[in-house]
A and B are shown apart, each in its own frame.
Chain A
Amino acid sequence: MEDNSFNSLIPFGPQHPVLPEPIQIKLVLEDEKIISAEPAIGYVHRGLEKLAEKKDIHQSIYVVERICGICSFMHALCYCQGLEELTGTEVPPRARYLRTIWGELHRTHSHLLWLGLMADSYGFESLFYQCWRIREKVLDIMEATAGSRVIISANILGGVRRDIGPDMLGHIQKTAKEIADSLRDIEKVFLNDYTVCHRTQGIGILTKEEAYELGAVGPVLRASGVPQDVRSLGYAAYGELDFEPATETAGDSYARTKVRLKELRNALSLIIQAAEKIPEGEISVKLARKPEGETVSRLEQPRGECLYYIKANGTDVLSRVRVRTPTFANIPALLKMLPGHQLSALPVILLSIDPCISCTER
């Protein structure tokens, strides 16, 4: 008998109760312990990068927005910022603030969604519903301000499509405070509850060096102690608002939960600040000229740093759009976290990177 004959190969996914989207992880197990893991992706590839080369630059906003069903606004923003840079267009200040407000609303609803899914991954169904109940308030704001719940189509090249009136800004501030209040209850459960801590503490540890070397991004990187946040570059209105990247040092699933809880608080504070400071004025301008040349546009999505490479040729149709999404960058880190853990810990570790497969495969 060969040495490794007691090892078993288990396919995890592409369909699994814990997975909202299809990804397969091929696991080599020794009894119940994970020895190695190998991902297989490609189940939801839709060819959106190619489609963005077929449509004109204005239509492509609605194409890139559909890369992700959660952080769609951020995709459109990253694309628009890239093209605004290529055309040398100065976005009006009010539009930059509105983009920040919608961006942070997206972060809030994405993190609340993730907290729910995380609770679901260790079987805490009622906590899952508590998180999603709070999230509903954010979605209502988005529908009232931009017209849709998630894919809000608020960005255009050179600004935003809709303005938010003073009454609505007041309502947004009030709701952000309400959400911050209702977060207090669920925060305690995620951080102090015995069973929750048992499932997350010490599970899926990623050291600072590993996180950096494997190119992890977003909350995964920050939970390992690297204070890297693209928002610090000050795109949109972030340069004029007060915020600190949330970091933790433990690098386990518990630290990643904690980082996202802190980011939720940060996002709500940013929404309140932006709604207070928002200047009057125009909400959009026309592009200064046709785009020409190439650029890399970056921004911080709820899951981490997103990167758009855009190549334009002086016409209305782009030569190339390439998207590097945060989940793609976090998959190597995920594979590093898995070995040595029990099979039952896999859902928690997998969910702790907040995987967005449709983003990854585009």
Chain B
Amino acid sequence: MFEFLRPVFRNLLRRPSTREYPFAVREPFRDARGHIEGIDREKCVFCGICAKKCPADAIRVDRQERVWELDSFKCVVCSVCAESCPKKCISVSPVHRAPAGEKSRCAIEGAKMETPKKPAGINKEACVFCGICAKACPEGAISVDRTEKMWSLDKEKCAGCMACAEKCPKKAIIAE
């Protein structure tokens, strides 16, 4: 009959379950996806893989102008960009983005550097056809045949991140 009396009395004696927000704010969980903070402009090579993988089309990358732009109002904070980045230069904050009165974009201009590189071929004498570059390529643009000693690059797919050259144990990949 009076089934709810027990929870009622217990709640009377217990501290409230809620916090006095906004005066008491919970610590964010370490691995929570709060919002995308931006990129490390020193590390980013503006390969555009993040923009290609983004399910919400929230990222725009201009390779020539070296500009990375995020529309935070389109972003669904899935953090696919951060995971697919070959340079791991996109940072995700565990804290949610503060409420905003108007729409704004997060645009980051990269540090000016020499003309962007792209892999052109391999040094056939150094290469051992181990296939590490093919595994490292985030776009699957490289194929290596160990038995035939063949290395080929799909230039259409290549984003120019140079992850292959970085991972190559023999430093056999030649840049353009």
Contact = CB atoms under 8 A, between A and B. Distances in A.
A126 B4 contact: yes
Interface string A185-196: 110110011100
Interface stretch (B36-44, B72-80, B147-155): B72-80
B65 interface: no
Interface stretch (A79-87, A100-108, A143-151): A143-151
B7 A186 contact: yes
B17 interface: yes
B4 A147 contact: no
A162 interface: yes
B17 A133 contact: yes
A55 interface: yes
A62 B78 contact: yes
B113 to A, nearest CB: 31
A127 interface: yes
Contact of B78 (A144, A153, A185, A193): A153
Interface stretch (B27-35, B99-107, B115-123, B163-171): B27-35
A147 B3 contact: no
Contact of A143 (B7, B32, B79): B32
A315 to B, nearest CB: 14
B88 interface: no
A59 B3 contact: no
A27 to B, nearest CB: 32
B7 A59 contact: no
A59 B10 CA distance: 47
A126 B53 CA distance: 45
A254 to B, nearest CB: 15
A189 B10 CA distance: 15
A63 interface: yes
A83 to B, nearest CB: 15
The DSSP consensus for interface residues of chain A is helix
Q: Is the interface of B mostly helix, strand, loop or mixed?
A: loop
A208 B175 CA distance: 71
B17 A192 contact: no
Contact of A63 (B4, B30, B55): B55
A189 B6 CA distance: 10
Contact of B55 (A62, A144, A145, A148): A62
B83 interface: yes
A59 B79 CA distance: 12
Interface in B1-15: 1, 3-4, 6-8, 10
Interface centre among B1, B4, B56 (most CB of A within 10 A): B4
A162 B31 contact: yes
Interface in B60-85: 76-80, 83
A147 B32 contact: yes
A58 interface: yes
Contact of B3 (A55, A66, A143, A192): A192
A36 interface: no
Contact of A188 (B3, B29, B79): B3
Contacts of B1: 192-194
A147 B83 CA distance: 13
Interface of A: 55, 58-63, 66, 126-127, 130, 133, 136, 140, 143-145, 147-148, 151, 153, 161-162, 185-186, 188-189, 192-194
Interface of B: 1, 3-4, 6-8, 10, 17, 29-33, 53-56, 76-80, 83
> Which 10 pairs show the lowest CB-CB distances between chains A and B?
A59-B55, A62-B55, A147-B33, A144-B29, A188-B3, A189-B3, A193-B3, A153-B78, A185-B7, A133-B17
29 contacts: A58-B53, A59-B53, A59-B54, A60-B55, A61-B55, A62-B76, A62-B78, A62-B80, A130-B7, A133-B17, A140-B29, A144-B32, A147-B29, A147-B32, A147-B33, A148-B33, A148-B77, A151-B76, A153-B33, A153-B79, A162-B31, A185-B7, A189-B3, A189-B4, A189-B7, A192-B1, A192-B3, A193-B3, A193-B4
Given A58-B53, A147-B33, 13 more contacts: A59-B53, A62-B78, A63-B55, A144-B32, A147-B32, A185-B7, A185-B10, A186-B7, A189-B4, A192-B1, A192-B3, A193-B1, A193-B4
